[in-house]
Amino acid sequence: MRKSNSFKVPEKYFENIDFEILEKLKFKKNVFTFPQNYFENIDSEKIIEKERSRSFYRNLLITSTVTMCLMILLILNTFTEKEFVDETFLVNDILEENFDYMNQNIIINRYSSNYIYQNYDNQIIMSNFDSDFDYLTID
């Protein structure tokens, strides 16, 4: 029988040829470069500092959140104080009687943006410059 090919190849040549292609590429596997002195400039101190400042800001955030919550609670608590309710009602009553605001559904409280509320030693002044009256004084 005649040989189909008279050229000889090394043993397992064809089995390994694909692998050689990869091996050939392997010589160029360091294709990724980086800025000069990059590795020298990787500073563990910076990483440690970053972690410490992160912890600091995390603690700061926790502290400020707790403080905010406490302030909100304090404000809510102050808002419902008896003295304040009394004063507001008092002002409302006087306004209604003296200035005939019965039909205008006025809501007055010390946080109202319509009124400037001041309390000087039990003398309450509520001013509204857009209304007919300039201020109201209650002793």
Positions touching another protein (CB under 8 A) are: 18-19, 21-22, 24-26, 28-35, 38-39, 42, 44-45, 47-48, 50-51, 54
52 CB-contact burial (10 Å; exposed 0-12 / middle 13-18 / buried 19+): exposed
Q: Whole-number minimum distance, CB 41 to another protein, in Å?
A: 10
- Please report how close the Cβ of residue 108 comes to another protein at its closest, in angstroms: 51
Nearer to another protein, 22 or 107 (CB): 22
Helix (H) or strand (E) holding 34: none
Give the start-end residues of each E strand in 75-122. 116-120
Q: How far is the CB of 27 from another protein (least distance, A)?
A: 11
In the complex with another protein, which residue's Cβ is closer, 18 or 121?
Answer: 18
Nearest to 79 by CA among 38, 109, 121: 109
Nearer to another protein (CB atom), residue 48 or residue 70: 48
Tell me whether residue 6 or residue 33 sits nearer to another protein (CB atom).
33
Which burial class, exposed, middle or buried, applies to 63 when counting CB atoms under 10 A from its CB (0-12, 13-18, 19+)? exposed
Q: Which of 104, 98, 102 is nearest to 137 (CA)?
A: 98
**Nearest approach, Cβ of residue 57 and another protein (Å):** 14
